[in-house]
Structures are given as C-alpha cells and as structure tokens.
C-alpha cells in the first residue's frame, strides 16, 4: 500500500528554481534514500512531503500519520520530558476514542480500537524514558532553551520514533549520534513496518536500509531501484548513456547548422521542417555536467616525524573525569579516529590540543613548524552577516592558492558555489554548503595538523568523497572525531576510544573496538539464574581437564595473530564495500565481498571461543 506519493513537485525561492519536476512514492515497508548535492533541494523536497513547505506546482498524497526529523527542529514544551511526552499524544487520543466509543455503546468501534491498543500497548509511558536513554538525550528536567543543536536533534529524533507514525521522514538522523546508537537506529529502521524517506550521508546506513534511491539532480528526481550499491552502478551506467546521447545531439546540431549556413535550399519553404528540427535541438535543455571539485590540503611544508605528543594528560569538569593519564604520540601521516559516546570527552580532547582549554595535569607538546587547523562540529568561524564572497576572501578580492593569486569568485567556483550565491549572506546557506565553505577556507590556511570534529555532518556524498580523497593524500596528520563508519574505516589509520571513567584506549581499527566491546559484554553478562522450581539434575563430577597437546599448544600460540588477521580482514572488507569505486570498477567482486563480510563475524567469534577454551586448559 502506497503511504506517500509526491507528483511533479516544483519549487522556487525568488529567482532560484530548486525543484523542477520531482516525484516519488513510498509504500509500507519501503525505505527510500533521498540523495543529491548540498543545496540541490533534498531538504526542500522532504519538507514539501511533510507539509512544512507548499509546492509551487504538483501534489503530495499522504495516507496515515507522518513524523519528520528536521535539521533544525522546534520542540514543544519547556523541558526535555515535556517535549518527549508530547510525542505520545496519539496514544492519549486513542484512549479517549476508546472511552467515547464505550460511552456510545458502539461495540464495533470499541473492538477496532481495542485491537489497536492490544497491538500498540495500553500503557506506553515507560517507552519515553527508554527512548531518551537509548538516544543519549539530556535529562528529562533539562530546559529545551538550554540544549545545544545536537541535543535538540536527539530529542527530536526520539519524538519522531515515539510518535509511531505510518510515514517517517528523516533529514540526516545520524548527525550527533555515536556509532553504537547509529547501529541501534539502523536496526530500528530495518524493522520499521511503515514508510521511510531518509536523507543521510551515512553510506552503511543507506546500504542496509534503503530499498530504492531517489536522486535529486538538477531539480529533477531520478529513481534507482535497489540498495545504495545498486544505485552507484546504475547511476554510472545512466550517466554514460546520457553523455553519449548528449554527444549525439551536439553533433547533429553542428551538422544541421552547417547545412543551414551553406545550403540555399535552407531558405526554401520545403526545408522549414529541417530548420524547425534544428531549433528544437537547440532549445533542448543541455545535459548538466557532473559537478565535482578537488581539495588538496597538502602544504608541502617540512616538519618533524612527530607532530604531537601528549604526556600524562588528565582533564575533566568537577567530579566528571573525562581523560585520566593519556599518553599519545602522533607521527606525520597518521590519521587518528576518535570514538566514544556523546559527552565522553572527544571534543574536549581537541580543544586541549588546540590550546582552547588548559588540562588539569599533563602536557600537550606540538612538534616544530606545526600549525593547527580546527573544524568544529558547530561550524563556527563564519559570520552570519558576511556574504559568501566576504567569508571566503576575508574581505579580499584575491586569495593565494599555493603560490598563485586567485580571484575569490573563481576560487569559490571550484567548490561548486554559483555566481548568484556569492552575494548571499552566510546565514542562508545549508549545513552542507557551510561545511563546503569551511573546507575551502581550510585549504587556504595551509596547516599540517588538522583537528576535525564531525567533519561529515551535513555533507553530501560528493563532498564526502572529495574530503576522503584529500585526507588520504594529506602530507600532515589529523585527529578526526567521527561517527561515520564508512568514512572512519576508509580514512583513519588507527583509532582512540573513550571507554568511560577517564580511560582512553588506542586500537588499530573500529572493528577491533567493537570486538573488544563484544567481549566485555559477554564477560559482564551474568549467568542465567537457576529456576528454584526445577531441581538441578545430579551430575557426576567432571574428570580433570587434560593439558594441551603439542598440536593444541601450537594452535593456541597462533590464535591471537589469527584473530587479529580476521579482524583486520573484516575492517578491510567493510572499507572496500564502503568505497564507491568498488561498485563501479569491481562490481563482479561485490557478491563475494558481501558473503565474506557476513561470514567473518562468525569466524571471529569461533576463534575467540576456541582461544578461551584452550586458555582455560593452558
């Protein structure tokens, strides 16, 4: 059953035509990924579907209740608890309808509502606190007016999920969520019975959840059935076909124009149809070229082999100890991913390195010739009243790229900013456009130590890919706080995990972190309590365990290296599948890689179990 259908949507803001002809439909059980470049109209299309914007042309048909997570949500009530409780108004309405039907003795209606309540629950208030805890929201008593942007979004996401809609519209739901919570959200969306329309830069989430992809391209929607991987392959094939057709159109225009210029017959009445065909070919909308840009963050500056050293770092606020005795050495070329739950101290570590805060104990030592660039998750550093032109050039008409002066307009053009955007104030830019502008300024700064706090938030998939390539080629070092699993696996050479109570532990990869967390959960899970009603059967005493044989000892000694190799392979396969080029250049290997990815967790688990068995006998 189709729950959401948008047909031929058009929308303009002033003289800027954002959507020219966008259509989509989402049925129950389907999840549609909405993709496209920043500023291309994805969020606008989403808001039109939600009824927050009115389309200039076209219509939206909705069957059922709808809930939306906006990038800048408004929350009702004064506290987090009030905002979350308000999301259960559907349940209060259902109970009121049940009572009214009973009073009217409308037993058919009573039975219908009772069936809904039996399915959805007669008491649901306990779900609020569970959802707030699950998403890492602020306490119930926290004032909405005091919440940060990320905290507001987490509460808004909780509201959207608690409202149990038929249609769920999500605009960048993974922003400000930690990796564990993103994994939980992914499972929740996979099990969701309604319709989902989602804008996200998280490629792993798209691959797992989306049943089809709709791309907003030059104001027009194009639908690709299947997963995100299927979309990459189909899109590449479509672009190749369109380019071939465009080349044929241009060649035909050239031939017809040459004929019209040299042939006297072109002026005769019987040749009018041929001239009309030429006019029609020229009037056709030309194929829009693939938009891309390059970001070269390399400085070419000489620096020591070690850019950063941290000794005995200890820091926290009041009784909340975030970092306790951290030792760290960051060599040139290292790209260190920083993981941990929200509020664990990841951003605090970057502020300490940048000198924005002073540690309680310990030292942060920068190497010679080290210059720091910091991109924070709030995208500060831009004045809202500045124009895009002023923000990029700091008031100058020319900027220096490498050793050459470049006009600001031309420089911004490299980052896909149109001429008509240069006089716009920064305040009207989308989150992704702000990020692109800050990346442009980052290029101009020429720094060799990058501190990047959630750099992937609000980026479109194109800009994300460009940033990945720039970091892979970067000749300095970077510390990157990110919850984007694909970005982390592809870019970071190692990770640092905040594990609570001030403990910060280095790992070789995200997969190794998750394996350690899985082991910890297994070890901390209490054994099932015995049922007192059932007498435990009497067992004969177990014979003493045999010592390891020579073969088993050899196996035991090699198991740790075997486990590390499996975990490294798991990380490599995930990174390969997360690389868009895999789907275009190595499409014949994708099925095998997916099969291997599914098999590896079981092999790792079995290896750990064997290690524990042999360890107990060693």
Phi-psi category of 513—alpha, beta or left, where left has phi over 0 and alpha has psi -120 to 50? Answer: alpha
More confident residue, 443 or 423: 423
> Distance (Å, rounded) from C-alpha 468 to C-alpha 435?
14
List beta partners, residue 374: 451
- Average pLDDT, stretch 257-265? 62
C-alpha to C-alpha distance for 326 and 312, rounded to whole angstroms: 5
If you ran DSSP here, which 8-state letter would residue 147 be given?
-
Give 506-531 pLDDT, tens digit per residue.
Answer: 998 888 888 888 787 777 766 555 45
pLDDT band at 538 (very low <50, low <70, confident <90, very high): very low
Over 50: is that where the pLDDT of 541 sits?
no
Distance of CA 510 to the CA centre of its chain: 16
Q: What's the confidence (pLDDT) of residue 22?
A: 94
Residue 327's SS3 state is: strand
pLDDT for the residue 92: 83
Q: How far apart are CA 222 and CA 131, in angstroms?
A: 35
Q: What is the pLDDT of residue 294?
A: 76
Tens digit of pLDDT for each residue in 351-373? 999 999 999 999 999 988 888 98
Q: What is the pLDDT of residue 270?
A: 47
CA dihedral for 488, 30, 214, 412, sign (positive or negative): negative
Q: What 3-state DSSP class applies to 110?
A: helix
Contacts of 148 (CB under 8 A, 6+ apart): 378
Q: Which of 134-143, 278-287, 486-495 has the lowest mean pLDDT?
A: 278-287
Helix axes 550-578 and 510-524, enclosed angle (nearest 10): 130
Higher-pLDDT residue of 202 and 594 is: 202
Does 473 have pLDDT greater than 50? Answer: yes
Instruction: Please provide residue 174's backbone torsions phi and psi, each rounded to the nearest 5 degrees.
Output: -85, -10
Q: Is the pLDDT of residue 23 over 80?
A: yes
Per-residue pLDDT band for 539 (boundaries 50, 70, 90) equals very low
Is residue 27 within 8 Å of 1, Cβ to Cβ?
Answer: yes
End-to-end Cα spacing for the chain: 60
Q: Alpha-carbon distance 58 to 20, whole Å?
A: 10
What is the set of domains in the chain, with CATH numbers?
A: 1-64+166-256 (3.40.50.300), 76-158 (no CATH), 306-507 (3.40.50.300), 516-524+545-617 (1.10.287.380)
Contact 559, 606 (CB under 8 A): no
pLDDT of residue 232: 87
- Residue that the structure tokens 């960051």 belong to: 330
How far apart CA 66 and CA 6 sit, in angstroms, is: 14
b/e map of 307-339 (b: 16 or more CB within 10 Å)?
Answer: bbebeebebeeeeebbbbebebebebebbbbbb
Q: Which of 200-204, 462-466, 535-539, 570-574 has the lowest mean pLDDT?
A: 535-539
Q: Are 486 and 492 in contact (CB under 8 A)?
A: no
pLDDT of residue 497: 94
pLDDT at 593 over 60: yes
Q: What is the pLDDT of residue 532?
A: 44
pTM (whole model) above 0.85: no
Say yes or no to pLDDT of 189 above 90: yes
Task: Give me the chain's average pLDDT, please.
Answer: 84
In this prediction, residue 536 carries a pLDDT of 42
Which of 26-35, 115-124, 376-385, 528-537 shows the highest mean pLDDT? 26-35
């Amino acid at each position: 059953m189709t729950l959401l259908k948008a047909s031929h949507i058009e929308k303009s803001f002033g003289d800027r035509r954002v959507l020219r002809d966008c259509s989509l439909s989402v049925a129950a059980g389907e999840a549609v990924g909405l993709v496209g470049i920043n500023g291309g109209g994805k969020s606008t299309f989403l808001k039109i579907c939600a009824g927050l914007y009115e389309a200039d042309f076209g219509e939206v048909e909705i069957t059922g209740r709808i809930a939306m997570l906006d990038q800048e949500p408004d929350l009702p009530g004064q506290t987090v608890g009030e905002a979350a409780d308000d999301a259960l108004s559907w349940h209060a309405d259902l109970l009121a309808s049940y009572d009214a039907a009973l009073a009217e003795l409308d037993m058919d209606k009573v039975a219908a509502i009772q069936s809904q309540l039996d399915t959805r629950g007669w008491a649901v208030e306990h779900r609020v606190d569970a959802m707030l805890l699950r998403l890492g929201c602020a306490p119930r008593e926290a004032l909405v007016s005091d919440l940060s942007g990320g905290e507001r979004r987490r509460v808004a996401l909780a509201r959207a999920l608690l409202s149990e809609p038929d249609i769920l519209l999500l605009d960048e739901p993974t922003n400000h969520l930690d990796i564990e919570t993103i994994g939980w959200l992914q499972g929740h969306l996979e099990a969701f019975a309604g319709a989902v329309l989602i804008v996200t830069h998280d490629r792993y989430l798209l691959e797992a959840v989306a049943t089809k992809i709709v791309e907003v391209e030059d104001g027009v929607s194009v639908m690709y059935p299947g997963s995100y991987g299927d979309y990459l392959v189909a899109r590449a094939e479509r672009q190749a076909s369109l380019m071939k057709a465009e080349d044929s159109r241009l060649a035909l225009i050239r031939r017809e124009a040459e004929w019209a210029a040299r042939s006297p017959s072109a002026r005769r009445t019987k040749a009018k149809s041929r001239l009309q065909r030429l006019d029609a070919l020229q009037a056709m909308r030309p194929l829009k070229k693939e938009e891309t840009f390059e970001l070269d963050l390399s400085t070419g500056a000489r620096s020591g082999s070690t850019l950063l050293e941290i000794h005995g770092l200890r820091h926290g606020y009041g009784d909340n100890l975030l970092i306790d005795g951290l030792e760290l050495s960051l060599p040139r070329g290292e790209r260190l991913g920083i993981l941990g739950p929200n509020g664990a101290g990841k951003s605090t570590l970057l502020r300490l390195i940048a000198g924005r805060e002073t540690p309680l104990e310990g030292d942060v030592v920068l190497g010679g010739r080290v210059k720091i660039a910091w991109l924070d998750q709030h995208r500060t550093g831009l004045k809202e009243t500045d124009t895009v032109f002023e923000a990029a050039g700091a008031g100058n008409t020319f900027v220096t790229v490498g050793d050459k002066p470049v006009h600001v307009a031309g420089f911004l053009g490299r980052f896909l900013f149109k001429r008509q955007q240069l006089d716009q104030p920064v305040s009207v830019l989308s989150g992704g456009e702000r990020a692109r502008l800050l990346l442009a300024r980052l290029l101009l700064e020429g720094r060799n130590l990058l501190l990047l706090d959630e750099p992937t938030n609000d980026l479109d998939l194109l800009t994300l890919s460009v940033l990945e390539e720039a970091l892979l080629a970067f000749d300095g070092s970077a510390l990157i706080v990110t919850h984007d699993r694909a970005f982390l696996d592809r870019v970071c050479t190692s990770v640092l995990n905040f594990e609570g109570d001030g403990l910060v532990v280095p790992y070789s990869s995200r997969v190794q972190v998750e394996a350690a967390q899985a082991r910890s959960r297994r070890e901390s899970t209490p054994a099932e309590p015995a049922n007192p009603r059932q007498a435990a059967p009497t067992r004969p005493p177990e014979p003493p365990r045999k010592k390891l044989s020579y073969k088993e000892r050899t196996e035991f000694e090699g198991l740790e290296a075997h486990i590390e190799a499996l975990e490294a392979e798991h990380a490599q396969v995930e990174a390969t599948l997360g690389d868009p080029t895999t789907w275009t250049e190595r499409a014949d290997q994708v099925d095998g890689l997916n099969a291997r990815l599914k098999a590896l967790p079981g092999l790792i688990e079995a290896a750990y179990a064997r290690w524990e068995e042999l360890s107990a006998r060693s």
